[in-house]
Amino acid sequence: MFLGSRSRLRAAVIAAAVGAGALTAATPAAAAPAAGTRAYLVITAPGATSGAATAVSGNGGSVWTSYDAIGVIVAHSGAADFATKMRAVSGVQKVGATRTTDVPAESANPPIPANPSQATPATGEPLRSDMTQIGADKAWAVNTGSSSVTVGVLDTGVDDQHADLKPNFDSANSASCAYGKLDTRAGSWRDTDTHGTHVAGTIAAAKNGSGMVGVAPGVKIASVRIAEKPSGLFFPENTICAMVFSGDRGFEVTNNSYYTDPWLFNCPDNADQDAILEGVKRAVAYAEGKGVLNVAAAGNENYNLANKSRDATSPNDSTPVTRTVTNACLSVPTEVAGVVSVASISSTNTKSSFSNFGTDKIHIAAPGDSVYSTVPGGRYGSKSGTSMASPHVAGVAALLKSTNPTATPAQLRTLLAGQADDLNCTDSRCSGTTAKNNFFGEGRVDALAAVGTGTPPGNSFENTADVNIPDNGAAVTSPITVSGVTGNAPATLKVDVNIVHTYRGDLVIDLIAPDGTAFRLKNSGSDSADNVVATYTVNASGEVANGTWKLQVKDVAAQDTGYVNSWKLTF
């Protein structure tokens, strides 16, 4: 279920096919599943799924997809005793149904979502309160984010043709995992609702003079559609697929504005939910192990996640039953270890009425009330929810990664927490201190601080003189003379580049060492976005530090122009 509006709307999940860690695109099946077919997670030790896969077939099931690297099989079966028999198989650790309803007919041959006609782009980019609230407007003047950073939007899909999203959209790394199987057909990633497109705009809508601007308008967006249609739900096998796909594709950040259906909370004393917990935990850990920072919405129930007692909304794919729950029961992925859980605040820095809370459950807070962003068809609209707060944090995390390209997910979490602005609360349910409490965690996310926290300079040298770049002409250089640095340059020499240009894909950029050795920073390509504002890391340990270094820029195509605004070396 996606966590986007005050009412609990439906959403979706992604699924992928992986063998020994390598993601494989699946071809949709020809025949619809028989009535009574259910989906199951079969959990084994990582790298040991082959025996269990054989047992699946021998016990009335079929392997839908498999992730050997994390020891997870997604199986389909219409046999009522399938789970019981599989739990008795040697090497099988857990087995659980992922839903309480049949696998939908659409899973056999998922339709490509419609490509909506596009409205004329809106004129102007009015400054919005959510962006000023977190200092994003000031951050843009410093660093809009690096195009080498990709944020995966795990959601209902994204309208990749929207004028504010198209410049930053990465179709090569977008897919659908709805219905539990990877689908890389062109357009499979498109929005089946409006939710994912709205989230994507908050993260990285382009700074192009029209519509609105995202928190990190210089980074890339990839869509991984995980919502099924028509249910709109995000089932566990879809979440698992999306996380594995994100890790294998090398995303730096993911945004997860949903909870994994059909259970609001998954309890370890229930065999089905215990398997769901284990499968999602492993997938999240796999993604983080590949360098992905996962950010998630905390939920819209106005619920104390640190004091669970009752759930009257699950399962949401059939008939909900009121049940007793404990703190051992978790909402996933937001309560999974390593995931940054985001609460929503209003424009006056108070807890949004719907936002969940809880001591050591909420990590950070961001604006989530009446957030204006992109919706399909080139249009715009406002939505409320922790779904709208989470992408603000994902955008700031992308800025942090742009500024600190070697930072690990753990280091990014530390930076997010350390930079957050403290928020006081007087609500009787609020406990803790101004520095850290159960409503806002470490506080309100800070985009401006994110772009000012690169590697502290031991020695820094900068050239701020403008150098015009001839259109489709000869290469130009901008020099920096380095002195007073002992020995060779470091293996992590930082090169901050700020180039104003109307089509950055035209540009080839090199760093030239004092002895003439060239280090390629950027190749030309089809990237039509404006400007190059990025930090590159160069292994220059074989070069003497002192001497004249040059930034060399060549425009290799006609019609677009620009200039070197400034650049900096940090040793």
Query: What is the overall mean pLDDT for the chain?
Result: 92
DSSP 6: S
- Antiparallel, parallel or unpaired: β 38-44 and 72-77: antiparallel
- DSSP state letter for 136: H
Does residue 331 have an active-site annotation? no
Q: Looking at residue 4, what is its pLDDT?
A: 58
Count the Cβ atoms, other than its own, within 10 Å of residue 255.
Answer: 31
Catalytic: which of 146, 387, 402, 478? 387
pLDDT (0 to 100) of residue 18: 30
> What residues contact residue 419 under an 8 Å CB cut-off, 6+ apart?
445, 446, 449, 450, 453
Tokens of 397: 């995390």
Q: What confidence score (pLDDT) does residue 457 get? A: 40
pLDDT (tens digit, 9 = 90+) per residue, 393-422?
Answer: 999 999 999 999 999 999 999 999 999 999
- Write down the pLDDT at residue 491: 82
Tokens 């992925």 locate to 333
Note the pLDDT of residue 5: 42
**3-class SS at 448?**
helix
> What is the model's pLDDT at position 453?
57
Choosing from 68, 130, 155, 555, which is the catalytic residue?
155
- d(CA 251, CA 292) in angstroms, rounded, equals 6
Q: In the Cβ-directed half-sphere of 416, how many Cα atoms lie within 13 Å? A: 34
CA distance 405 to 190: 29
- 155 as an active site residue: the answer is yes
Identify the burial level of 563 via C-beta atoms within 10 angstroms of its C-beta, where 0-12 means exposed, 13-18 middle and 19 or more buried: middle
Question: For 113-145, what is each residue's pLDDT tens digit?
Answer: 999 999 998 789 999 999 999 999 999 999 999
Q: What is the DSSP string of 340-363?
A: EEEEEE-TTSSB-TT--B-TTT--
261 classed as catalytic: no
* Angle 553-558-560 from CA coordinates, rounded to 5°: 70
User: Tens digit of pLDDT per residue, the chain (571 long)?
Assistant: 777 543 333 232 222 233 334 444 544 555 889 999 999 999 999 999 999 999 999 999 999 999 999 999 999 999 999 999 999 999 999 999 999 999 999 999 999 999 999 999 878 999 999 999 999 999 999 999 999 999 999 999 999 999 999 999 999 999 999 999 999 999 999 999 999 999 999 999 999 999 999 999 999 999 999 999 999 999 999 999 999 999 999 999 999 999 999 999 999 999 999 999 999 999 999 999 999 999 999 999 999 999 999 999 999 999 999 999 999 999 999 999 999 999 999 999 999 999 999 999 999 999 999 999 999 999 999 999 999 999 999 999 999 999 999 999 999 999 999 999 999 888 999 999 999 999 999 999 999 999 985 544 457 788 889 899 999 999 999 999 998 787 788 888 989 899 999 999 999 999 999 999 999 999 999 989 889 988 898 999 889 989 999 999 999 999 999 999 889 898 8
Helix 271-289 with 236-248: angle, nearest 10 deg: 10
In 168-239, beta strands by DSSP E: 175-176, 220-225
Q: 35 and 414 in contact (C-beta within 8 Å)?
A: no
| pLDDT given at position 288 | 97
The 10 Å Cβ neighbour count of residue 54 is: 12
pLDDT at site 123: 85
Of 77, 160, 164, 195, which one is the catalytic site residue?
195
- Residue with tokens 């839908």, as numbered in its chain: 64
Q: How far is CA 33 from the centre of its chain?
A: 32
Where do runs of H (alpha helix) occur along 157-223?
195-204
Position of tokens 């609001």? Answer: 264
Looking at residue 487, its pLDDT comes to 79
| Helical residues (DSSP H) of 444-527, grouped into ranges | 447-450
Angle at 285 between CA 277 and CA 444, to 5 degrees: 95
Strands (E) across 211-318 are located at: 220-225, 253-256, 293-297, 310-311
Phi, psi of 106 (to 5 degrees): -60, -20
Q: How far, in Å, CA of 437 to CA of 431, rounded?
A: 6
Decide: 267 and 258 in contact? Cβ < 8 Å.
no
**What pLDDT is stored for residue 19 in this prediction?**
31
